[in-house]
Homo-oligomer: A and B are copies of this chain.
Amino acid sequence: MDDLHARLRAGLPAEALQTDPDVMASYAHDMASFCPAGTPAALVFPRTVEQVQHVMRVATELRVPVVPQGARTGLSGGANATDGCIVLSLVKMDRILEIDPVDRIAVVEPGVVNAVLSRAVDELGLYYPPDPSSWETCTIGGNIGTASGGLCCVKYGVTAEYVLGLDVVLADGRLLSTGRRTAKGVAGYDLTRLFVGSEGSLGIVVKAVLALRPRPPRQLVLAAEFGSAAAACAAVCSIMEAGHTPSLLELMDRTTIRAVNKLANMGLPDTTEALLLCAFDTPDPAADLAAVGELCTAAGAAQVVPAEDAAESELLLKARRLSLTALETVKPATMIDDVCVPRTRLAAMLDGTAAIAEKYGLTIGVCAHAGDGNTHPVVCFDHTDADEARRARESFDAIMALGLELGGTITGEHGVGTLKKEWLARELGPVGVEMQRGIKRTFDPLGILNPGKVF
């Protein structure tokens, strides 16, 4: 380890290398539950591309694993340390290098916080859509690593659709530029997209060219209360079938609504079985909400409440954004799942999840990016109760099995990390796994980039 530290020091300023065990331990985890983490051998905070290249050259020479990190808000253990690794935290490479309103691009370093970029482009009348729940703290590099989603995806898509080009430091320290600054481009294989969602297992992103959009009008939100999750899901289907393009279409189940009320006393209707939130950022959102309100009523909504203004809309969104935090107060521990199904199967997914909760004798609250069919069942349990912890883990697996059965995926936006490694093979099948491993070997022949993650 002394050799490793000496070699690292040779190409880094003193403040970039941390070897204090307590400090290193505090960087060993992301926010995933029950994903074990190892003990790092070094913690590096590079500020330049050259420093990242130096770290990777040393890692290659000494065959030391490297675990890249953003803000560690991930939920799958993808940023957890492995024993003896170099933790490579990119949070200090946090400069916005360029924002161009004509080309509608931003060029950023990986450590830029999502909210910082969002506000910077907003000031210029532009919009960077991807908005994971952790957007106030998570970094663009982390968003790229996990191909993050958020509330806006039903209209604006996920992070992947906003990454035009990347600079990536490869496992051996060489610098690779992928993609483009242009609106279109098809020169060779799409390596840019390959890195998005690769969870740091193919290279270290050190610069990104991001696509921006014009800032849309402020969105207006409607809330609709339903007597069953199935009725709310039927409303989702009829909204999408009617050709609407909401900027947000979210669902909270009864458990979630109650938890939010308890946490924040927001006066949500906690006797209903499901609450649907729908928003439009169109030129005439009130008209669109009126049309959607009628569809909700036709699907059996007990009450439909359109927000009158931005303030009311914000309040409803705040309830949704608090959902995960609120569910964490139900029991001492939670496991957050991330199963995405075709939206035609959303009702089956919710009913099936309720049946799983009953079978395992657990509380499972569900909030969902309903317009995308992306559910977040949150298993609430007491981790000090061994039997309950076992049932929690089994129910978590049962939820993924159900998702696959319904034609869905085990992860809509959180990634695989260590949490879902065993399940990835079930989703991809043996040929898929073989091809994915082949790509991994091409970029990381020594297997030093975030080993033990994804596969």
- Other-chain residue from B101, B186, B198, B420 in contact with A413 (beta carbon distance below 8 A): B186
Known: A186-B197, A340-B184. A170 touches B431 (CB 8 A): yes
The 0/1 profile, CB within 8 Å of B marked 1, for residues 213-225 of chain A is 1110000000000
* This protein's copies in its complex: 2
- Other-chain residue from B191, B237, B435 in contact with A436 (beta carbon distance below 8 A): B191
Does A411 lie at the interface of the complex (its beta carbon under 8 Å from any beta carbon of B)?
A: yes
- Other-chain residue from B183, B410, B424 in contact with A154 (beta carbon distance below 8 A): B183
| Residue pair B191, A197 in contact (C-beta under 8 Å) | no
Chain B residues within 8 Å of A241, by CB = 101-102
Chain B residues within 8 Å of A104, by CB = 240
Alpha-carbon separation in the docked complex, A411 to B186 (Å): 6
| Residue pair B442, A174 in contact (C-beta under 8 Å) | no
Known: A244-B214, A431-B175, A432-B178. A343 touches B454 (CB 8 A): no
Alpha-carbon separation in the docked complex, A435 to B440 (Å): 11
* Chain B: CB-nearest residue to A175: B431
Shortest beta-carbon distance, A170 to chain B, in Å?
7
Alpha-carbon separation in the docked complex, A41 to B423 (Å): 44
| Residue pair B344, A189 in contact (C-beta under 8 Å) | no
Alpha-carbon separation in the docked complex, A61 to B183 (Å): 42
Known: A158-B184, A413-B186. A176 touches B438 (CB 8 A): no
- Other-chain residue from B175, B186, B410, B454 in contact with A412 (beta carbon distance below 8 A): B186
Alpha-carbon separation in the docked complex, A214 to B242 (Å): 8
| Residue pair A189, B436 in contact (C-beta under 8 Å) | yes
* Chain B: CB-nearest residue to A149: B184
Shortest beta-carbon distance, A440 to chain B, in Å?
8
Alpha-carbon separation in the docked complex, A294 to B440 (Å): 53
Does A256 lie at the interface of the complex (its beta carbon under 8 Å from any beta carbon of B)?
A: no
Shortest beta-carbon distance, A323 to chain B, in Å?
18
Alpha-carbon separation in the docked complex, A283 to B245 (Å): 13
Chain B residues within 8 Å of A320, by CB = none
- Other-chain residue from B174, B340, B369 in contact with A431 (beta carbon distance below 8 A): B174
The 0/1 profile, CB within 8 Å of B marked 1, for residues 365-404 of chain A is 0000101111000000000000000000000000000000
Chain B residues within 8 Å of A408, by CB = 180, 182
Does A82 lie at the interface of the complex (its beta carbon under 8 Å from any beta carbon of B)?
A: no
* Chain B: CB-nearest residue to A215: B243
- Other-chain residue from B175, B183, B372, B440 in contact with A184 (beta carbon distance below 8 A): B372
Does A290 lie at the interface of the complex (its beta carbon under 8 Å from any beta carbon of B)?
A: no
A118-161 at interface with B (beta carbon < 8 Å): 125, 146-147, 149, 153-154, 157-158, 160-161
Alpha-carbon separation in the docked complex, A194 to B283 (Å): 37
Q: Which 10 A-B pairs have the closest CB atoms?
A: A214-B243, A438-B442, A193-B193, A183-B372, A185-B409, A184-B412, A147-B186, A182-B340, A186-B197, A103-B342
Q: List 24 A-B contacts (CB under 8 A).
A: A102-B240, A102-B241, A153-B183, A153-B184, A158-B184, A160-B190, A175-B431, A177-B429, A177-B432, A180-B408, A182-B340, A182-B342, A182-B407, A182-B408, A182-B409, A184-B374, A186-B416, A187-B409, A188-B436, A190-B193, A194-B194, A213-B245, A435-B442, A438-B442
